[in-house]
Amino acid sequence: MSINTPNKQTSHLKREILARIIRAYIGNNYEEDVRLIPYKMRPQGSEVPYRCCIHKERAILRDRVIASLGFDIEEVKDYELLSDLAQKATKREKPEQHPLTLLQTACNECVPARIHVTDLCQGCVARPCESACKFGAIKVVDGKSRIDQSKCKSCGLCAQVCPFQAITKIIVPCENACPVGAIAKDEDGLTKIDFEKCISCGKCVSACPFGAVHKKSQIIDILKNIKNGKKVVAMLAPAIMGQLPCTPAQLKQAILELGFTDVVEVAQGADITTKNESEEFKERVKENGAPFMTTSCCAAYNELVDKHIPEIDKYRSTTKTPAYYTAELVKKEHPDYLTVFFSPCVAKRTEASKNPNIDYVLSFEELGAWFVALNIQVAECEESEFVTKSSAQARNFAVTGGVAQAVNSLLDDKDKAQPYVINGLDKSGIRDLKKFAKNGKCEFGDLIEVMACPGGCLGGSNTINSYRQATKQLGAYVEQSPQIKDVVK
């Protein structure tokens, strides 16, 4: 299972557009500067690097600007000016419900997924492809293998046995990446997201090589509140400590320079999650005999349970997420402050939309663009230490296995959990979860940690650093952190 690797070209485009929008907002001619973004990025006579003509490039850039302003592409009329939409974004009372939108202008409308026989086929005498197919879908005709698509089940057995590797599986990247079948072509051949099925895991965002699946940004909403003098608190997910070439204290200072009132680590909420989840595990599994319990920190997993595997809900921990507890702490101390969760993934936007204590969500990508727009060099900032200290175990929540390790760190030897980790939600992992729920047992362990992203939050679709480097950087921070037993009383 591969770790998410952000597409450098599409990431660069998104970052440049966001930086231009931010500079426009803090400048003197916001609406007009936003309107001109596609033309400034692709001026007349410039090179056309990706599409057939400059007009196509500008049309796609326009749609990327619309998504970056926080709007659903499908709901915006073709004749609406970017300047009008820019003004409309500043009047928005709350972000739109669904975190994703699809740019039909950028979508390549890939050919349907199927098993395909290439010209490498030799029509060999052995014909292993015919023998392997259980559905009678493949026959040799005129010296070449032919597939009857009406019979083919796309099992791929024919491709596995072909001695010439002449049979291949053609995939649609976004559809292939989605573990719940939430993205597909409609009857008109246009790709659509079914939000009744979507769990906001963001895998389609990372998978699309054209960057056609786009997050709807809340950057204007956040900028507006800061400009209007609102007190705004940044809540940093643990994974952020592995993203930028600076110390955590420098990162805090850099964020304060953006206009935030305070910066807190969500790891302090993770310490609460650990305490509550360890107590719940002991009570449910060790004392009352439940066969297993699943963790409940991953927002995409929680969406999966609610929408696709309701039968496993009784095994899911009732403990809230670190973001939930952190926002609760902030609002309890400062009820009038606004909270912004800095997120490595798309799913936290769905979680935030259901939590009145989390006002906005900012992705790591958007934070990086904000620093670029204001020319803030985080590695050159002064240091501003965090007031509340969080534990090593809480800060390690960002890595696969970190949640289960944290829970075990607060359990006595006789109550220790036997962890089993689902490292990235895919169809196989979902089948396993359904099997565990149906059978009422998990033969691999009694504490199932579920992470939608391979590698944990450090592999999220909103991350901006390579997984290996991010793991190394976060690990150094974890090593210098206090143990949870010294933090949680």
Per-residue pLDDT of the chain (489 residues; tens, 9 = 90+): 455 555 678 888 999 999 999 999 999 999 999 999 999 999 998 888 888 899 999 999 999 999 999 999 999 999 999 999 999 999 999 998 899 999 999 998 788 889 999 999 999 999 999 999 999 999 999 999 999 999 999 899 999 999 999 999 999 999 999 999 999 988 888 899 999 999 999 999 999 999 999 999 999 999 999 999 999 999 999 999 999 999 999 999 999 999 999 999 999 999 999 999 999 999 999 999 999 999 999 999 999 999 999 999 999 999 999 999 999 999 999 999 999 999 999 999 999 999 999 999 999 999 999 999 999 999 999 999 998 889 999 999 999 999 999 999 999 999 999 999 999 999 999 999 999 999 999 999 999 999 999 999 999 999 999 999 999 999 999 999 999 999 987
The pTM assigned to this predicted structure is 0.92
The pLDDT of residue 1 is 45
pLDDT at 113: 87
CATH of domain 230-487: 3.40.950.10
Environment class of 311 (CB within 10 Å of its CB; exposed 0-12, middle 13-18, buried 19+): middle
pLDDT at 92: 94
Say what the pLDDT of residue 267 is.
98
114-170 topology per CATH: Alpha-Beta Plaits (3.30.70)
Angle at Cα 102 formed by Cα 101 and Cα 107, nearest 5°? 165
Gap between the Cα atoms of 268 and 273, Å rounded = 9
Q: Provide CATH 3.40.950.10 ranges for the chain.
A: 230-487
3-state helix, strand, coil in the chain (%, to 5): 45, 10, 45
| DSSP symbols for 242-271 | GTSSS-HHHHHHHHHTTT-SEEEETHHHHH
Spell out the residues 6+ positions from residue 393 whose beta carbon is closer than 8 angstroms to its own. Answer: 270, 271, 274, 402, 405, 406, 409, 483, 484
pLDDT at 65: 98
Q: Residue 477's closest CA among 234, 240, 275?
A: 240
Start and end residues for every CATH 3.30.70.20 domain found in the chain:
114-170
